[in-house]
Amino acid sequence: MEKLICKVGKLVERDGKFGRFIACANYPKCKYIKKGEGAPQNTTGVKCPKCNVGEMSERRGRFGTFFSCTNYPKCKNIIKTKPTGNLCSTCGALMMIGTKTIPERCSDKNCPNNRPDKIQK
């Protein structure tokens, strides 16, 4: 939801915590920020399995990078590592890239395929 541009201020390019963006020159009074001009989202091309509308995209947070749905306010699906696009055969959650010994693992912590090395054979 964009706010109205104030009548006096002009749009200027600024540097911020998350990169460059375009905002009003009268910053403390006018908090207008032009949407869609920031850095493009790094989408993976994998559809979100929960909402089937958005795609999983790479984002940065205070604990590092993570992957979440682009349909954020409605869908809050988040996983730690890059999704592979496959679905888990046990629970239906997204499979994500694992480690060197575990090439692919389930993103659901309650699923036994989350730690396939711990499954008894």
Q: From first to last of its 121 residues, what are the pLDDT tens digits of the chain?
A: 345 566 777 888 888 776 777 888 887 788 777 765 444 567 888 888 889 888 999 888 889 899 999 888 899 988 888 888 888 888 888 888 888 788 888 988 898 888 887 776 6
Q: Using an 8 Å Cβ cutoff, are 42 and 56 in contact?
A: no
User: Which residues form the domain of 6?
Assistant: 1-39
CB atoms near residue 48 (< 10 Å): 20
Cα dihedral 114, 72, 82, 106 in deg (nearest 10): 10
Q: How far is CA 9 from CA 6, 14, 29, 39, 76, in A?
A: 6, 14, 10, 23, 36
Taking the CA of residue 18 as centre, how many other CA atoms within 13 Å lie in the half-sphere pointing to its CB?
A: 11
Same domain for 24 and 82, yes or no, is no
Residue with tokens 């989408």: 43
Q: Using an 8 Å Cβ cutoff, are 44 and 55 in contact?
A: yes
Same domain for 83 and 52, yes or no, is yes
Domain-embedded: residue 121: no
Same domain for 34 and 54, yes or no, is no
Whether the model pTM is above 0.75:
no
